[in-house]
Structure 1
Amino acid sequence: MWPLLLSTVFVGALGLRTLEPPPPPSTSRADPEERWLDIRLDHFSAFNNDTFPMRYYYNDLLAFPNQRDNHIVIEVGGQWTISPEWVTGGLAFEIAEFLNAGVFYTEHRFYGLSRPTDDTDVDNLRYLTADQALGDLAQFIQHVKSENFQNGMYSGGKVVLVGCSYAGSLATWMRLGYPHLVDAVFSDSAPLQAQVDFVEYFEKINDVISEQGGSACVTAIAEAIAEIEALLATEVGANTISDVFNTCSPQQTNPMDASTLMYSITDTIAELVQYALPGNVSGACAALTDASESSAMRRLANFVNSYPSSQPCIRNSYAELVAGHTNTSFDAEDSETRLWTYQSCVQFGWFQSTNGEHHPFSNAVPLEFFQQMCLDFFSLYFNSNLTDAGVRRTNLFFGGMTHLPDHVVSVSGGADPWAPLGPTEADATPLSHVLLVPRASHCRAIHSTQDSETDEILEAKWEVINLISEIITGTRANSATGVFASLALVLCAVLSVIA
Structure 2
Amino acid sequence: MLLLALCVICSYAKLSLNQKVMQRISQSFMTLELNEVESMTYTVPLDHFNANNQNDFDIHYFVNKEFLDTNDPNAPLFVLLGGEGPASPKVLQNNYVIDSLAKKHKGLMLSVEHRFYGASTPSLEMDKLIYCTAEQALMDYVEVISHVQEENNLVGHPVIVLGGSYSGNLAAWMRQKYPNVVEGAWASSAPVEAVVDFYQYLEVVQNALPKNTADLLSFAFEKWDEMTTTEEGRKELGKIFNTCTEFGEKDIQTFAESIGTALSGYVQYNSSNWKSSYESTDSICTEINEDVVNKYPLFIKEKYNPEWGDKECTSSSQEESYKTLQSTSTYAEGNEGAAGRSWFFQTCIAYGYYQAVSEQSSVKWGKLNQLQGSIDMCKDIYGIDKDTLYNAVDHINVRYGGKKPCVTNVAFTNGNTDPWHALGVTESDHQEGNLVQLIDRTSHCSDLYSEKETDVPELKKARHNELKFIAQVLANVPQN
Calculate the TM-score normalised by the size of structure 2. 0.88
The answer on whether the counterparts of 1:6 and 1:349 sit within 8 Å (CA) in structure 2 is no
| 8 Å CA contact retained: 2:76, 2:105 | yes
Q: Which runs of 5+ in 2 are unaligned?
A: 1-5, 273-278
Q: Secondary structure at the match of 2:262?
A: helix
Give 1:317's aligned amino acid.
Answer: S
CA distance in 1 between counterparts of 2:10 and 2:243 reads 23
Superposition RMSD in Å? 2.5
Counterpart for residue 478 of structure 1: none
Q: Per the alignment, do residues 164 and 266 of structure 1 end up closer, same or farther by CA in structure 2, a change over 3 Å counting? A: same
1:281 alignment counterpart: 281
1:39 paired to 2:39:
no
Deviation at 1:404, TM superposition (A): 4.7
* Residue of structure 2 equivalent to 1:397: 399
CA distance in 2, matches of 1:94, 1:142: 23
Alpha-carbon distance change, 223 to 377 in structure 1, aligned in 2, over 3 angstroms: same
> What is the one-letter code of the residue matched to 1:40?
P
Change (3 A) 1:439 1:75: same
Write the deviation string for residues 316-347 of structure 1: whole angstroms up to 9, x where unpaired: 01112112211111143532111111000011
Query: Pick from 236, 241, 245: which aligns with 2:237?
Result: 241
1:29 and 1:59 in contact (8 A); partners too: no
The within-5 A match list for 1:4-23 is 4-5=7-8, 17-18=21-22, 20=25
What amino acid is aligned across from residue 102 of structure 1 in structure 2?
Answer: L
Corresponding position of 2:276? none
Q: Number of aligned residue pairs: give it.
A: 452
Asked if the contact 1:228–1:297 (Cα under 8 Å) also holds between the matched residues in 2, the reply is no
What amino acid does structure 1 have at the position aligned with 2:145? Answer: I
Which residue identity does 2:308 align to in structure 1? S
Report if aligned partners of 1:4, 1:267 keep a CA contact under 8 Å in 2. no
1:316 maps to which residue?
316
SS of 1:127's partner is: coil
Preserved contact between residue 12 and residue 18 of structure 1 (Cα < 8 Å): no
Q: Which has the larger radius of gyration?
A: 1
Residues 319-377 of structure 1, C-alpha deviations (whole Å, 9 max, x = no match):
12112211111143532111111000011111111114322224221110001111222
User: CA offset at residue 70 of structure 1?
Assistant: 2.5
CA distance in 1, matches of 2:237, 2:18: 30
- Give the direction of change, closer, same or farther, for the CA distance of 1:460–1:22 in structure 2 (3 Å limit): farther
Match of 2:91, as an amino acid? W
Q: 1:322 to 1:189 in 2, by over 3 A?
A: same
- Distance in 2 between the 1:433 and 1:453 partners? 21
Using the TM superposition, give the Cα deviation of residue 297 of structure 1 relative to its aligned residue in structure 2, in angstroms: 3.0
- Residues 376-391 of structure 1: matches in 2 within 5 Å? 376-379=380-383, 382-391=384-393
**Structure 1 residue aligned with 2:218:** 222
Counterpart residue number, 1:94? 100
Quote how far apart the aligned CAs of 1:237 are.
1.4
Which of 208, 227, 232 lines up with 1:231 in the alignment? 227
266-275 vs 102-111, greater mean Cα deviation: 266-275
Shift of 1:426: 3.0
How far apart in 1 are the matches of 2:28 and 2:380? Answer: 42
Q: Determine if the alignment matches structure 1 residue 448 to structure 2 residue 450.
A: yes
Q: Relative to 1, partners in 2 of residues 1:16 and 1:428: Cα closer, same or farther, differing over 3 Å?
A: farther
Residues 71 and 157, structure 1, Cα contact 8 Å, conserved in 2 = yes
Residue 493 of structure 1: aligned partner: none
Q: Which amino acid aligns with 2:255?
A: L
1:189–1:15 Cα change, 3 Å: farther
Secondary structure of 2:90 counterpart: helix
Residue 461 to residue 387, structure 1, CA distance change in 2 (3 Å): same
Q: Give the direction of change, closer, same or farther, for the CA distance of 1:88–1:450 in structure 2 (3 Å limit).
A: same
* Separation (CA, whole Å) in 2 of partners of 1:401 and 1:241: 41
Partner Cα separation in structure 1 for residue 426 and residue 7 of structure 2: 23
Residue of 412, 415, 435 corresponding to 1:413: 415
Match of 1:430 among 415, 429, 432: 432
Match of 2:251 in 1: 257
Shift of 1:417: 0.4
The C-alpha deviation readout for 1:15-62, integer Å capped at 9, x for no partner, is: 5531736999xx997251111111121110111233211111110124
Aligned partner of residue 398 in structure 2, secondary structure = helix
Cα 1:358–1:248 change in 2 (3 A) is: same
Q: Distance in 2 between matches of 1:469 and 1:298?
A: 53
The amino acid of 2:256's aligned partner reads: M
Cα distance in structure 2, aligned partners of 1:374 and 1:468: 39
Deviates more, 1:28-37 or 1:417-426: 28-37
Deviation at 1:7, TM superposition (A): 11
1:273 Cα deviation from its structure 2 partner: 0.9
Equivalent AA in structure 1 for residue 106 of structure 2: N
- Seen in structure 2, the aligned counterparts of structure 1 residues 135 and 7 have a Cα distance that, compared at 3 Å, is farther
Distance 1:365 1:29, change over 3 A: closer
1:267 to 256, 261, 277: 261
Q: 1:347 aligns with which of 321, 326, 350?
A: 350
Task: Tell me how far 1:234 sits from its aligned partner.
Answer: 1.6
1:299 aligns with one of 292, 295, 300 = 295
Secondary structure of residue in 2 paired with 1:215: coil
Q: CA deviation at 1:309?
A: 2.1
Asked if residue 84 in structure 1 is aligned to residue 89 in structure 2, the reply is yes
- In structure 2, do the counterparts of structure 1 residues 120 and 36 end up closer, same or farther at CA, with 3 Å as the change threshold? same
| C-alpha contact (below 8 Å) 1:238/1:251 kept by paired residues | yes
Tell me, which stretches of 5 or more residues in structure 1 are unaligned?
Answer: 476-499
Among 370, 384, 389, the alignment partner of 1:366 is 370
- 1:450 to partner: Cα distance: 2.8
Classify the secondary structure of the residue corresponding to 1:145. Answer: helix
Are the structure 2 counterparts of residues 418 and 427 from structure 1 closer, same or farther at C-alpha, using a change threshold of 3 Å?
A: farther
Deviates more, 1:217-226 or 1:66-75: 66-75
Cα distance, 1:85 vs. partner? Answer: 2.1
Give yes or no for contact 1:260–1:316 (8 Å, CA) kept in 2.
yes
Tell me if structure 1 keeps the 8 A contact 2:354–2:371.
yes
- Cα distance in 1 for residues equivalent to 2:77 and 2:232: 62
* Structure 1 length-normalised TM: 0.85
Query: Which whole-Å deviations, capped at 9, do the CAs of 1:150-176 have from their partners, x for residues lacking one?
Result: 2x1x11210000000000000100011
Between the aligned partners of 1:66 and 1:14, the Cα distance in structure 2 is: 39
CA deviations 1:101-136 (Å, max 9, x no partner) are 100111000101101x2x311221111111101111
